[in-house]
Structure 1
Amino acid sequence: MTKLFFLGLFGFILGCSNGGSPESLLKASNESYAYEDELAYEVSTDNLEPEQKMPREAKIIKTATLSFESAQPEETHQKILALVAQHNGFVSSDNAGKEYNRIYRNMVVRVPTENFQALVNGISEGVPYFDQKTISRQDVTEEFVDLEARLNAKRELESRYLELLKQAKNVKEMLQIERELSTIREEIEAKQGRLNYLQDRVSMSTVNIEFYKNTSERGVTLSYGQKMKNALKGGWDGISVFFLGLLYLWPLFVVFLGVGLFVRWLIRRKKKS
């Protein structure tokens, strides 16, 4: 807090030495803006009394990925839906599909963090083995605290600029201050958005679920008589295709016949001569 006090005192003295003009106050505010990182740290720690400096609640993002085979996919789906409703969660996405020898379903579930483990245990109940079962916990406490401190520092800086705006004496000063305010507010919105995102991920855990069933079908065994029947039918079909092919070539036969007759006529003519 000592550094913050001296920065404020420096701005006050600088403002008084110039008659308290907005330009001098703006310069002092810019000096303090350059020390934002230090101010954010001071705001996050020095404003607390010794007895208030207790460890913060950890901010943990919990995520699980479950993949397993199910003999009854529809029953498994209904079971998961019931468990999600029981634990006050909701289904973020639910997709089903079919491949050559497999039907599958992918689900993404969001559930309050305090019910995360209970939901995972409920889904796991009755599953003999998992193709994949991953549970991760990401600690974002440090980022959360840093964002809160920087957000408070930005809002404090915004308040200072609003005070300067009230003291502006001409349009030039107003435009200069409003440009700075616009930049600060954009940064506040960005940090608040990131903070809201982290809070959502911390308060609502995510469970990715995939279950499937193999549906490969066995080929039908044919009897010997059926195979003979199919062979005879295939042979007849082959002969039919052959003769049909010859019919398609009738123009060539006509041409060959004409050429043959012409050559024969030439040979006979040579013999007579």
Structure 2
Amino acid sequence: MYKQTKKYCTWVIFILLIGLLAGCASSNSNVASDKAATESAPMEGANAESSSESIGDKAATDTAVTTGGESDTAAGGGFSSETAAGAEGFNQKIIYTAALSMQVDELAEAAASLRNAIHQSGGYILQFQDTRHEGEIGSTYTIKVPAAGFMSFIDRIELIEHKTFERNIGGKDVSDEYVDLESRLKARQLVETRLLAMMDGAVKADDLLKFSAQLSEVQLEIERIKGRIRYLDNNVAFSTVELRLYQTNQELKKENVEKPSLGGRMSDAITGSTKVVWDAINLLLIVLAGAVPVAAVIAVIAIPAVWIYRRKKKVTKTNKMPNSDEEGQPPTV
């Protein structure tokens, strides 16, 4: 009986110990969860503050951009919009130009190949001029091609059969000018908005006229800036290629000149002789016209001199002639 009682007591004590241990474990887990919740609360508050600060910074940045700060621009100068979007921080705008000169064997075949290359590149001919000289025929092209395919178009042209090929490729970076234009445009647009608001609230006619004049000037400047931006965008998007194709050392077809007939040769001889005579008459008339002033001066001097000379000669002759009455009388003794 005593042994059984002792055994029962042992089992009861064992069960109680297990219950105590389980209760301690649950209380520890509750304390840990409460502590974690207490620590997470400040973290959530900090996150909320940081998010509000980031939102405020973003709003401040947007405000700065609205007031005329620099903004991100799409990349240009030989890159497509997709490539520009993938390149972070790349906002260069470059205008590419090329001056090419190519000597070919057959100008017609080279021109056909050139048109195919332009079509494949998505470009177009802006200006064309055909030239023909003795021993040389050529064509000059001004071509616009997309900037993304600028170098590939140059490579296609180089594949045309040719004797000589010269090229000069250059680029002009207009990124600074573009950013400056965008900033000026945003500033002018803000002034335009303010002037419109002032005009809506204007009561006096003088104020309304003054605001209207200022608004006209601002809008005119906005249109100028937009026009310059469009010009830069077009030249950045489409590169310019100046190409000269020419063919030399080729026998150009000419009409055979037949020998003139006898009548034609006689007509040519008469025409030539008439021209010589007419030229001689013209020359004589020119000489006479030039001699008239000299002859007038000589006449003014020579006529009085001749008259005086003849007068003196006549007087001298009269004095030397004997008296007829005296010759008829006899001599006196």
Asked if these proteins are the same fold (TM beyond 0.5), I'd say yes
1:267 aligned partner? none
The question of 1:174 aligning with 2:208 is answered yes
SS in 1 for 2:105: coil
The question of 1:154 aligning with 2:179 is answered no
Separation (CA, whole Å) in 2 of partners of 1:164 and 1:40:
23
1:92 aligned partner? 126
2:69 aligned partner? 44
| Superposition misfits of 4+ residues, deviation over 4 angstroms | 39-42, 215-218
2:164 aligned partner? 129
Q: Is the 8 A contact 1:103 1:215 kept in 2?
A: no
Cα RMSD, aligned residues only: 3.2
The question of 1:107 aligning with 2:141 is answered yes
The one-letter code sitting in structure 2 at the alignment partner of 1:124 is E
1:164 aligned partner? 198
CA deviation after TM superposition for structure 1 residue 127, in Å = 3.5
Taking a change above 3 Å as real, the CA distance of residues 150 and 40 of structure 1, as seen in their structure-2 partners, is: farther
2:93 aligned partner? 59
Relative CO higher for 1 or 2, CA cutoff 8 Å, sep ≥ 6? 1
Taking a change above 3 Å as real, the CA distance of residues 40 and 185 of structure 1, as seen in their structure-2 partners, is: farther
1:9 aligned partner? none
Deviations 1:192-232 (A, max 9, x none): 100000000000011111011115659xxxxxxxxxxx9xx
SS in 1 for 2:68: helix
Taking a change above 3 Å as real, the CA distance of residues 180 and 40 of structure 1, as seen in their structure-2 partners, is: farther
Separation (CA, whole Å) in 2 of partners of 1:241 and 1:91:
52
1:197 aligned partner? 231
CA deviation after TM superposition for structure 1 residue 60, in Å = 0.6
CA deviation after TM superposition for structure 1 residue 40, in Å = 9.1
1:184 aligned partner? 218
Taking a change above 3 Å as real, the CA distance of residues 97 and 241 of structure 1, as seen in their structure-2 partners, is: closer
Q: Is the 8 A contact 1:40 1:153 kept in 2?
A: no
Taking a change above 3 Å as real, the CA distance of residues 45 and 194 of structure 1, as seen in their structure-2 partners, is: closer
The question of 1:76 aligning with 2:73 is answered no
CA deviation after TM superposition for structure 1 residue 45, in Å = 3.6
Taking a change above 3 Å as real, the CA distance of residues 99 and 40 of structure 1, as seen in their structure-2 partners, is: farther
Deviations 1:120-174 (A, max 9, x none): 11101243432x3110111000101110110011001100110110111111000
CA deviation after TM superposition for structure 1 residue 56, in Å = 4.2
The one-letter code sitting in structure 2 at the alignment partner of 1:171 is A
Q: Is the 8 A contact 2:93 2:175 kept in 1?
A: yes
- Structure 1: state its 5+ residue gaps: 6-38, 48-53, 219-229, 250-273
1:33 aligned partner? none
The one-letter code sitting in structure 2 at the alignment partner of 1:70 is V
SS in 2 for 1:44: coil
Instruction: Give aligned-pair identity as a percent.
Output: 26
Deviations 1:27-55 (A, max 9, x none): xxxxxxxxxxxx999622499xxxxxx63
* TM-score w.r.t. length of structure 2: 0.50
Q: Is the 8 A contact 1:40 1:150 kept in 2?
A: no
Taking a change above 3 Å as real, the CA distance of residues 159 and 127 of structure 1, as seen in their structure-2 partners, is: same
Taking a change above 3 Å as real, the CA distance of residues 172 and 65 of structure 1, as seen in their structure-2 partners, is: same
Q: Is the 8 A contact 2:137 2:248 kept in 1?
A: yes
- Structure 2: state its 5+ residue gaps: 1-59, 73-87, 253-258, 278-333
CA deviation after TM superposition for structure 1 residue 99, in Å = 0.9
Taking a change above 3 Å as real, the CA distance of residues 118 and 108 of structure 1, as seen in their structure-2 partners, is: same
